Every structure is written in structure tokens, then in C-alpha cells.
Structure 1
Amino acid sequence: MMETIVECTIDLEFREAGPLTQAAARLRMRDGSEFTAHGVTNRHPDDPGQQRVGEEVAAARALYGLAEQLLEKAGVDIEELTHERAHLTH
């Protein structure tokens, strides 16, 4: 069995504005297609300021958005090939 290695790139960019942390995630596929998603978190005023935690939550939400888009795209691709409804869950 031949092994194939495929690389894709995910870039994460963060913006901090007071208690608000925003993350933008961009996935570049090997065929040149791109997907983007955003995640936001807002620190409660009583919580201590920890930039890392806000970035983790915002990044997780952005990556979840990418995952949803990839599942949707894969479902469309499957349906085009099989001419049957795809049932993908996460």
C-alpha cells in the first residue's frame, strides 16, 4: 500500500481589544481552495486578564467554523460523486 502525505496550511490571526479577543482562521487546501472562519470571546470583567485563554477560546471557535465548512464541502463532493444524499455528522 502506497502512503500519500498531503499538507494543508492553517493560519490563525488574533486581535485583542480590551476584554474582546477575535481569531481569524484561514485554511489553504492543496488544490488552492481556501476556507475562512472567525471566533470571538469576551472576558468577563471579574476574570483576570489572561491573553492566552482568550486566544485559545477564540481559536477553538474559529477552527470549529472551519470544521463545519469542511464537512459541508465534503458532503457536497460526496453527493456529486454518488448522486445520493450524504449524511455527515460531527
Structure 2
Amino acid sequence: MPHTVEWKVRLHLFEDDEGTTKARVVLDTGATALTGHGSAHCHPADRYLPEIGDELAAGRAMNNLAQQLLDAAERDIEGVGASRPSTRQVTGWPM
């Protein structure tokens, strides 16, 4: 019962004049799309290193997307009559 699919992910980073980096990551499964958001702000006393803001904002957006994907999987599990697990690690494959 082999199963192979390809999901596309797009990551967009935006920085404003106030030192805030915002990230939006879009997961397109072909059947649905999920969007995660994250942001990072450079403290005025910190050295300006835009790559750090990019990393933080992107990581937070991907974390937000991952949570949405896990929530969707749990809803789908319940939708087929399975009981909701007490912890996420019990669902499907171990982490």
C-alpha cells in the first residue's frame, strides 16, 4: 500500500522600518492550504542582524503551521471514530 505525495511550501519574509520581521509560510497539499504566521522584533539596543530576525520569524511561522497540521490530523482521527489521544506523541508515529 505505497503512498507518495508532494506538498509545496512557500515561505515569505517581510521586514518593516521598525525592525519587525514577519513571516508567512503556506503549505499547499493540493487539496487544502494552511498558512502559518510568525514574527520577530529587533530590540533597539541589539546589533542589527537581519538573518536572525528571518530565522526567528520563519521558525515561529513554521511552528505555527506545524501546530495547525497536528490539530487537523487530530480532528481527522476523531472524524474516523478514533478517540482523541491524551498526548500528541501517542498519535500515529512517535516523534
Q: Which moved more, 1:15-24 or 1:2-11?
A: 2-11
Q: What's the TM-score, normalizing by structure 2? A: 0.82
Aligned pairs for 1:1-90 (under 5 A) are 3-18=2-17, 19-30=19-30, 32-89=31-88
- TM-score using structure 1 length: 0.86
Offset from partner CA, 1:6-31 (integer Å, 9 cap, x none): 2111111111113110001100013x
Number of residue pairs matched by the alignment: 88
Runs of 5+ in structure 2 lacking a partner?
A: 90-95
Letter in 2 for 1:25: V
Identical pairs, percent: 34
The C-alpha deviation readout for 1:1-59, integer Å capped at 9, x for no partner, is x64332111111111113110001100013x2000011010001111111111010000
Whether the aligned pair in 2 keeps the contact of 1:75 and 1:88 (CA below 8 Å) is no
Q: What do the CA deviations read for 1:35-87 (whole angstroms, capped 9, x no partner)?
A: 00110100011111111110100000000010110011000110111242244
The alignment's C-alpha RMSD in Å is: 1.7
Equivalent position amino acid for 2:25 in 1: A
Change (3 A) 1:88 1:81: farther
